Amino acid sequence: MHIHLPKPLHGWREFVGEVGIIVIGILIALGAEQVVEAVHDRSQVHEMTDKLHAESVENRSALNLDVVGMQQSQASIETNLSVLGDCGGAGGFTGLVPVERPTYLVPTDSAWTGVRDSALLPLLPARLTDSYHKLDAIRDLMVRVLSEIYDSRAEASARVDAVRKGLHDRETCRDAVVQLLRLKAIQELLLNQTEGYRVFNEQALRGELVDAVAKPGPLNLPKSASQD
């Protein structure tokens, strides 16, 4: 059996050539790996963007129902405030109606939460992440206000029911008016935020930058908000 030993390299030029071939091979392998990773990342970014879009589309109907429900509740409050007046009526308060208690569907954010907590968040377009960060901030405000509404609505409903069942004294009437006014104010805040979220959600769906200033209080709504 003959063993062929590798021939010794002759000169620096041959040595550099051998090393160059190895380096080129490594660079090609690394480049191919980066291309594969880039394609994979691009696919995941596309998938996450689709999920955000689908979630915003699903939130449309919920937001529309929320706006209608709160408008109906506000209408029932206005009716009762009109009937109670200044609590100076000597007779029964005919025309009082139960305070509407619509179910409020908070916009879902599971897709955004998944994207926000992923390592691919920096790869998403800056405009997209900025828009959904703002939507998330407004949603948090809405949830906090909603908890206040549940408590206030229970108080107002109890006072109105008491008057409807025959407690027509001035103190009970005034208490009902105060609770109704408090509920009306809180619901106006949530209604404003919900209408704002609805407009901003549509902006995000169109790929526009969400123009929102999230702060506790009425939002700075664009003119189109009042036209929807």
32 CB-contact burial (10 Å; exposed 0-12 / middle 13-18 / buried 19+): exposed
Average pLDDT of every residue of the chain: 78
Domain assignment present for residue 2? The answer is no
CA-CA distance, 29 to 25, in Å (whole number)?
6
Q: How many structural domains are present in the chain?
A: 1
Domain assignment present for residue 204? The answer is yes
Domain assignment present for residue 4? The answer is no
Domain assignment present for residue 7? The answer is no
Q: Which domain does 63 fall in, by range?
A: 12-227
Domain assignment present for residue 49? The answer is yes
Question: Per-residue pLDDT averaged across 136-159, rounded?
Answer: 90
Domain assignment present for residue 19? The answer is yes
CA-CA distance, 228 to 226, in Å (whole number)?
6
Contact 161, 37 (CB under 8 A): no
Which tens digit of pLDDT belongs to each residue from 11-36? 566 655 666 666 666 666 556 555 55
* Helix pair angle (12-84, 126-164), 10° resolution: 20
Which tens digit of pLDDT belongs to each residue from 76-131? 999 999 988 888 765 567 888 988 888 888 999 888 888 888 777 777 788 888 88
User: Cβ neighbours of residue 211 under 8 Å, at least 6 residues apart?
Assistant: 200, 203, 222
Contact 220, 213 (CB under 8 A): yes
Domain assignment present for residue 212? The answer is yes
Domain assignment present for residue 213? The answer is yes
Q: What confidence category does residue 222 fall into, taking pLDDT thresholds of 50, 70 and 90? A: very low
List the structure tokens of 56: 């915003």
